Chains A and B, each alone.
Chain A
């Protein structure tokens, strides 16, 4: 222990006095701070867009509530009032849309993940959901391809480079500068000395990554105290990742090769684990496992729609009552009942195909998951985006929530439409409360 402290003390002096470390720290800090601000900027942009939509939707709903409150003894108000409280009117002539938002998690700005590929909100009405969910945020594909320079990128790509440059000449530098023989002449074994030196470097890496993480939370205005679990999960993942890299480098140092060879070996491991392996896995999967043709959902919906319109009303309504006996009063002629029931059939059709597609895609992604261990960088990225709820799964959850939201909306609307009742104030408030904004 005394020896450890002694070595750490002097090794720190040596490290600090070499300009290499200072340069690396400046680069790391610079990249880290840039990444933090970039992530903050990106997530703020998303939030502004969400706020815009929310404000618009809230305004619309508020005017709906105002209409529902109008004094109907005045003739001019009658039409507006009816529009606001008629479930078929709200749904049809206006195709009144309801908004559901996927809010950014507190640390989304530290790891933007896959969030930029997906819509952050859906505006849906009572009609079939499949076609309404086919939207995308405007994005320059060039930017999507290049990816985001956020803090997670700094940790995943640049931190290993810092570790490589701190470790690669741990042994060879002593040898090439001639201090090795004097170290070997001491009463502590060389391995202990090298281990201690490595330990100090690992501590340095941990310190700078923890510092950047704290800085990230502070700059992005995320309270560490309130999000302690997220903070420690981040810390744990990054410490584990850096430890893994330290082990890689320890293996390279143990080979006792020269400076240039060690540097090349380190860079080689970096290339293979962060660039070549993920790219090869992606190539392999895309060459062997085709993605489903999602246009088929749209086609199925339009074909079913065609069939609904070409058939007598009873065709749709009978099927609908079979699935939803709670609404059945055996009425097979009512236009609005037919109109809205037909969308339920479209949803049913679309959901069957959607489930098939999901199975196919899950199979494809499982193949990647199976080989993911070969690309630890991708694993860490997946973990960080999972913690920050910016991965694809988080979006799938949001899509499920949207389906659920749509179902609940339908339940409220249908219960009124099939009972041929109007909305009251209470109903509208329930609907408003259901919207996630």
Chain B
């Protein structure tokens, strides 16, 4: 009996020309998004890989130099384009793409695509995620808005009821019928996307298969939430027009208005500090000490005394090691400590801002899927900071190595310009290789959005099971 109803619903929808057109349009749009998206992802990935290795070659072949000059000459870190980013471009157009790594200085990750594009970029980039998050729910609305009211208006609902089917059974049948149709659009395209995965770059992206499955499952859950919600509203709306208008209204609020308002409010709730303040604080603290009572000169003197004591000599000249190397590394580490504190402070403010919209996922499932999808695709804020930290750690490691070499091998008394090292030293620094966070780390950061989706699902099933028998038959 239930199968019969499901079959009838699907047949009715398949014979509806308007739904046919809408379905084909969505599939075509997703195919374009996936194919072009992959092309773009490959293009950018290859460019950055090329740039990264070209810059490394320049580093290795920089010639004979003092190690500290080399640290000043510096290196570059290019942000790799995540394999799954062709499914959800996420923040990628708004975050910087490369960072210059040099001694003494934490540079910003610069050059976002948005800065080089005109206003059009603010309207978003077509990806599978955009279709699945925003357009597919609209198709669900058109599939379901009159799924009950039409039968009620035509009187067939009474006939079905007279055949002995409970309203709850009918409700679930209609839900599953719609869901099967949605999956029939979703699954073939996501399978195509799977075969397009760039396996050559998988090395930088651990658990790629699992992430892909996670992405697929979360979307499947999101669709079920939307199907349940629309069939529920359709079941309790008095007329088709009322259910259509309220569903469209909900869609506009959830997918268009609320996300913007949430992000804007978050910025007001947790104000972002200014770059000026950020840099000034770091400079001030480096100068006067973290607590403000430990100025640079005193720190340096204390360190000098410590080193002199350690080697049991009375002046810098007598030291068997290079004092400048030690002092430089100490200064580096002190700046790092302050930078980490300030960077984490700003990062936490941004995280709080983002968390607000993750919590709003409990009110608006669109926000939950948006965060999850970006996280699985590797294009969310956490991935950006993971890259920032990896690049900064790489910087610290090679600068430290340069300083260490200076400390141990640059014999005191020899002029700066007379101590030079070469290729062997440079190539002892491995090229920058960044691995994206793994699945566990993603899930541990995204539990709010997962919880929001699951809550929505359970809540809607609960409401449906309680109220579906009281759906009006006339």
Binding site for B on A (CB under 8 A): 31, 34, 38, 41, 45, 49, 52-53, 56, 113-114, 117-119, 134-149, 153, 157-158, 161, 259-261, 263-264, 267, 271, 274-276, 278-288, 290-296, 298-299, 302-303, 306, 361, 364-365, 368-369, 372, 375, 377-378, 381-382, 385, 391-392
Contacts and interface: CB of A to CB of B under 8 A. Distances in A.
Nearest to B122: A147
Contacts, number: 221
Interface residues of B, number: 88
Interface string B327-370: 00000000000000000001000100110010000000000000
| Closest 10 A/B residue pairs (Cβ) | A278-B123, A287-B40, A279-B126, A146-B263, A283-B126, A141-B94, A144-B94, A141-B91, A294-B111, A282-B125
Contacts of A53: 276
Contact of B384 (A141, A275, A283): A141
B354 A142 contact: yes
B278 interface: yes
A260 B240 CA distance: 9
B375 to A, nearest CB: 12
Contacts of A372: 120
B297 interface: no
Given A135-B108, A146-B259, A282-B126, 10 more contacts: A31-B257, A114-B118, A145-B94, A275-B130, A282-B117, A286-B113, A295-B100, A361-B116, A364-B116, A392-B119
B461 to A, nearest CB: 29
25 contacts: A31-B257, A49-B274, A136-B108, A137-B274, A140-B272, A142-B91, A142-B381, A143-B267, A146-B264, A147-B263, A260-B146, A261-B18, A274-B123, A275-B123, A279-B123, A280-B126, A282-B117, A286-B93, A293-B98, A295-B78, A295-B111, A299-B55, A306-B73, A368-B118, A375-B123
Nearest to B261: A149
Contacts of A52: 274, 276-277
A63 B18 CA distance: 74
Contacts of A382: 118-120
B261 A267 contact: no
A49 B98 contact: no
Interface stretch (B31-39, B298-306, B432-440, B446-454): B31-39
B353 A293 contact: no
Nearest to A309: B69
A128 B357 CA distance: 42
B32 A280 contact: yes
A391 B119 contact: yes
Contact of B120 (A118, A143, A282, A303): A282
Given A136-B110, A140-B353, A279-B126, A290 B44 contact: yes
B339 to A, nearest CB: 14
A53 B127 CA distance: 40
B240 A41 contact: no
Nearest to B102: A302
A56 B283 CA distance: 14
B78 to A, nearest CB: 7
Given A142-B381, A276-B126, A136 B256 contact: no
Contacts of B116: 291-292, 361, 364
Given A263-B248, A287-B43, A136 B275 contact: yes
Contacts of B142: 264
A264 B32 contact: no
A138 B354 contact: no
Interface in B125-157: 125-127, 130, 134-135, 138, 142, 145-146
B256 A157 contact: yes
A338 B75 CA distance: 26
Interface in B85-120: 90-91, 93-96, 98, 100, 107-108, 110-120
A294 B123 contact: no
Contact of B123 (A118, A138, A282, A299): A282
Nearest to A265: B18
Contacts of A302: 73-74
A298 B114 CA distance: 20
A203 B74 CA distance: 63
